[in-house]
């Protein structure tokens, strides 16, 4: 997926993950796990700059709405740990993307079976082999 589509898709998925985690319960770990999965999937399926942007948005959502209140970013030990965990999920997603890419191999052309049979030599004055 290109970065032009991967970044907005990742941001919408991060917002949906925060909403779902908030509905699921009050624990901040719910949001961190779901945001980590969003960052991991984005890093796996799109470009690295788009995934870095989604990482920043995911951290801001976590620090602003889960750890902080009403969008005020919380800069404390918990937000530092969430940034570290999200960065680890980005690294893991990018690593799996790099390792799963296989080089494209073009097979050597094969000779058709008809071309593999020897042809009779044409001698001047002899009848045609057909």
Task: Tell me the two tokens of residue 100.
Answer: 């799963």
The DSSP call for residue 46 is S
- CA 30, 42, 85: angle at the middle one, nearest 5? 45
pLDDT of res. 106: 76
- How many other β-carbons are positioned within 10 Å of the β-carbon of residue 89? 25
How far is residue 72's CA from residue 37's CA, in Å, rounded to a whole number? Answer: 23
pLDDT of res. 118: 62
Question: Using an 8 Å Cβ cutoff, are 17 and 59 in contact?
Answer: no
Give the residues of the chain that fall short of pLDDT 50.
none
């Amino acid at each position: 997926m290109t970065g032009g589509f991967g970044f907005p898709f990742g941001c919408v998925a991060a917002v949906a993950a925060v909403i779902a985690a908030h509905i699921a319960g009050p624990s901040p770990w719910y949001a961190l796990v779901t945001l980590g999965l969003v960052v991991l999937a984005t890093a796996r399926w799109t470009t690295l700059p788009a995934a870095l942007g989604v990482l920043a948005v995911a951290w801001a959502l976590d620090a602003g709405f889960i750890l902080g209140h009403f969008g005020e970013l919380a800069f404390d030990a918990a937000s530092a740990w969430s940034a570290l965990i999200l960065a680890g999920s980005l690294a893991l997603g990018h690593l799996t993307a790099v390792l799963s890419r296989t080089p494209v191999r073009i097979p050597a052309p094969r000779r058709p079976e008809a071309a593999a049979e020897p042809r009779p030599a044409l001698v001047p004055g002899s009848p045609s082999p057909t």
